[in-house]
Amino acid sequence: MRSLLAAVLPMLLFISAGLQAQDITVKGKVLSAHDELPLPGVSVQVKGSDVGTSTDIDGNFSLSAAPGSVLVFTSIGYLSSEIAADAQGTMTVKLQPNLEELESVVVVGYGTQKKENLTGAVTTLDLSTRENEPLTNVSNALHGLPGLFVNLGNSMPGVDRATIRIRGVGTLNNNNPLVLVDGIEYSMDELNPADIATVTVLKDASAAIYGSRAANGVILVTTKEGTQRAQVTYNNYFGLQQPTTLPDAIWDPAVYMDLKNQAVLNSGKSTPEYSEEQMQEYINGMATDPITYPSSNWFDIALDNGFIQKHDISASGGGDKYRYRVSLGYLDRDGVIIGPNNNERKYSLGLNTTASLGERLEIGLTLNGYYRDYTQPSYSNGDYWQALMRSLPIMPDQLEDGRYSFPWIRTTGRNNWEHPRMLALEGNDHKIVQRFLSTIYANYRLPFDIQYQVKLGVDKYDGFRERFIPQMAKFHPKTGARQNWNNPATAPRSYNYDDNDLNLHFYNTLSWQHQFAGSHNFSIMAGSDYHNFRQKTFDAQVTGYLDGSLPALGAGSERLSIGGYSTEDVLISYFGRLNYDYNEKYLLEATFRYDGSSRFAPGNRWGFFPSLSAAWRIDKEAFFSSSGFDLFKLRASIASLGNQAVDLYSYEPGVELGQNYNFGGKLAPGAATNSYTDPSIHWETTTTYNIGLDAALLDNRLSITADVYNKRTTDILRTVNLPNQVGNLTGPKQNVGTVDNRGIELVLQYRNNIGDFNYDVHGNVSYNKNKVIDLDGQILYGDGTNLPTITQEGDIMNAYYILDAIGIFQTPEEVEAHAFQDNNTRPGYIKYRDVNGDDIINGDDRIVVNASSIMPKYTFGFGLNLGYKGFALSADFQGIAGIKVYPVDNLAMPFNNGAGATWEWATDAWTPENRDARLPIVTESTGEEGNYRFSDFWVRDGSYLRLKSLQLSYALPSSWLDQMKIKRLSVFVNAQNWITFSKYDDFDPEAIVNAASLYHYPMLKTFSGGINVTF
């Protein structure tokens, strides 16, 4: 028996061991965790063995592995992942993007570079991070980027384009950055955001390759290209829009009339605005006759929720020799103003194709642009909002028969009542724009690996605007008497405006790169540019219409005006770049650009703009190898940048028609020079210095970027005033002025994943200090603004120059003891500091407030992204600090020329019983010098923090979609601009930067939802 067991037992053990070692078949699918799309070509390896495979075009894999084995998944652009083999069902593996690797190549001027080898200050935005946000224009996607102040001052459909400032304001002229789309100058806001891959911002010497147009920074937009895998993508969203903030206006007639009477009496008048009899009649009539005695909330009457929808479809594909992408987009948007005169329609087309013809030649063609139209009220957007801010609760809307009405009760300053509904609905102002950028390019590899690239771009803009203003009238609610809003002698009237621009762009480059001795890497690029800008305009105005049924120009009998002009502008450039690095450890870059512009006189047309930058990859040093840093790089740069910010033909004397001459006592028509010119004007020059640090550690999970910069702009072009005795001529443009901008930028990001959970936390803050160094002793008041500002040597540009408020008078004795302000000064009035001690408060007592009206000291942004399996939650905040706003007039100040007031004047104004009030005694602001002089009492803090975007999305599992042949399907909801934190709450502070009133289209918040599907 023992011998039998001895023989059988080893056999049983061998069989058992063999059964345990039997391989299992593992099947699965690999997806991108970012968009749930299948990943082809992923390496699937059994850890510790040579067994492996790769995924097919649909991301599927199958292999044999021993039970308990660990599979290692690796793919370029994604973080590797190790997962235990599972024979039960089909595995679904999601790889997280390796953002560091995906961002390793950055677009720069006339080429690309590895991000880790950059020597300049460059910021890149991947537009996929803004996916599903209700972006109507690309510029609105740039909020919160380091070093950028992005301000949306007008949210009206059709013109809601943000103003962008990069590292401060350095000139008294145009401060807009240069924008290039795929290397060609073009407006980023004439592109569909869905067609854009990345936006790169060049902020220092990295921009110098663009020379005379780079002083304000450069923005490079790269459009999406085709993929080797054929796919069709459809995205949409639907949403509602509302104003973020509106003034807290008084819409109660009784409260309004009572407070208005108080203001009139407090202003020193003996008779109230409304008598007791009128007020009692009104209050009694409200219960029985709401038409004659309305309680009108005009924000509810004249505004409504806006509706927005957007649809985008694209098809892309290709092979080894060609790639293509074609897209169509549609945006339909109704604004918050009632009626048809506040909407926008956009139709976009995008085409990007490349083809390889042999081993040496690649050619490509792109086409991007819009057909769009939008409308606004016939009396302009600004006039409409001014009328709305002047609305009163006692203003009736419409009579029973639909005619527009006006109050029966007289109000000072309202001889001809504005009517917001009438201004919103009557007439029209319609603009149609077609603008397309077409490019064709070729890359050819010459002998010795020299690359030749040539590109031609054609930018065609056609804009046509029709505006018709009919005769408008309102009717008395008691008597039916007619009151004309506009003059029947000039209305109806019709306007036509036609703009036609043709811009041609051409550049070609030669480039060569080579490595010597295995360590020394050289690359050289040289090229030339040619730019031609042509513009033609035509406009006409006609009146004499019988009615408003036929608004065509030919239907009018009297031509009021005909005008138009044409211009041409040429820029020719030569440029080059040299890059050297030693083992990617020590890096050096030098560029030059030689520009010639027709904007200057012969002899001053050419300018030379060089730059030099260097970097040291300390992490590659042997002594730093155990530091734990994946990247530690120091950067430094210096560059000379230009600005041709001068009007066309400024070097030549202007001749103006319509200057009559007296010959023998008779006037004869003629022309005359109206301005003095200086033919020696030349480029503005900005010299920029930058020191930076790039660091990454913890396996690239934590990244840090810091920059310190100094920008000095010299030879600023500005108009120099002349005494009237010199022919009463406008002064010439001259190179006078120097401005500094110094600042710091800091960017932090941490990202990680724990199993199926991934997260990303990021933030940045920028500080900029602006200072005027030299203006040749001149002082500029209110330069480029209606605000009480000053620009002078030693201060920031457009600093507030106003009286210093030091409190509110409490007693007559306090008024008597203080410097004289005016005859109406009494308790409750604002007390101003007598700066010069002459016992009189006047303009000599103004002080400079160290806060700009045009540029914040701080800009910042932060956010987080969370992902778990198919769910994703993201939140992005953005804000500014260190800027002041100063709105005046209707609703910003109480009872301005017949307008109303906000509730704070009913609750927080000074009275003998409320001496600790925040506001002075309520008075009319029309003609009232005392409380409403320009002073720091009314300067408001324009800082804000905004939840720019909050988004929740869910991507359906691929196992649900495979049977329907769908590669990806996700649904989402998004809230944009939903929450804003600010000390100023009368209006959205972003909407009134550098504005003197509240007559602006308000900032909008949007709640939207939609789907993304890929086949």
Helices vs. strands in the chain: H and E counts, helices first: 11, 54
How much is the pLDDT for 78?
74
Question: What is the third-level CATH fold of 24-95?
Answer: Immunoglobulin-like (2.60.40)
Is 20 a residue whose pLDDT tops 50?
no
Our CA angle for 576, 437, 1015, nearest 5°, is 110
How much is the pLDDT for 928?
65
How much is the pLDDT for 100?
53
pLDDT digits (tens, 9 = 90+) for 491-510: 899 999 999 999 999 999 99
| Beta strands in 449-492, from DSSP E residues, in sequence order | 450-469, 473-475, 482-484
Would you mind telling me the total number of residues written for the chain in this entry? 1015
Share of residues in the chain with pLDDT > 90 (%): 71
Our CA angle for 902, 908, 914, nearest 5°, is 150
Using alpha carbons, select from 516, 423, 503 the residue that is nearest to residue 470: 423
Distance CA 105, CA 751 (A): 20
The pTM of the whole model exceeds 0.85: yes
Q: From the CB of residue 434, how many other CB atoms can be counted at a distance below 10 Å?
A: 15
Distance CA 471, CA 87 (A): 80
Is 727 a residue whose pLDDT tops 70?
no
Distance CA 213, CA 218 (A): 8
How much is the pLDDT for 4?
40
Per domain, the residue ranges of the chain are 24-95, 105-238, 306-660, 805-844
How much is the pLDDT for 730?
79
Distance CA 647, CA 282 (A): 57
How much is the pLDDT for 965?
83
- How do beta strands 684-697 and 702-714 pair? antiparallel
How much is the pLDDT for 122?
95
pLDDT digits (tens, 9 = 90+) for 971-1012: 999 999 999 999 999 999 999 999 989 999 999 999 999 999
* Band of residue 201 on the pLDDT scale cut at 50, 70, 90: very high
Mark out the alpha helices in 651-728 (DSSP H runs): none
Average pLDDT over residues 389-395: 96
Contact 292, 477 (CB under 8 A): yes
How much is the pLDDT for 17?
41
Strand, helix or coil at 498? Answer: strand
Is 538 a residue whose pLDDT tops 90?
yes
pLDDT digits (tens, 9 = 90+) for 920-973: 999 999 876 789 999 999 999 999 999 999 999 999 988 888 888 888 899 999
Our CA angle for 580, 582, 583, nearest 5°, is 125
Q: From the CB of residue 523, how many other CB atoms can be counted at a distance below 10 Å?
A: 17
* Band of residue 43 on the pLDDT scale cut at 50, 70, 90: confident
Distance CA 645, CA 610 (A): 19
* Band of residue 170 on the pLDDT scale cut at 50, 70, 90: very high
Is 15 a residue whose pLDDT tops 70?
no
What is the CATH number that goes with domain 105-238?
2.170.130.10
How much is the pLDDT for 22?
66
Contact 983, 956 (CB under 8 A): no
- How do beta strands 733-735 and 780-781 pair? unpaired
Task: Identify the helix (H) or strand (E) that includes residue 279.
Answer: helix 276-285
Mean pLDDT estimate for the chain? 90
Distance CA 355, CA 554 (A): 51
DSSP 98: -
pLDDT digits (tens, 9 = 90+) for 882-906: 999 999 989 999 999 999 999 999 9
pLDDT digits (tens, 9 = 90+) for 623-654: 887 778 999 999 999 999 998 877 888 888 87
Our CA angle for 797, 802, 808, nearest 5°, is 145
| Beta strands in 625-732, from DSSP E residues, in sequence order | 629-643, 655-657, 661-663, 666-668, 671-673, 684-697, 702-714, 717-719
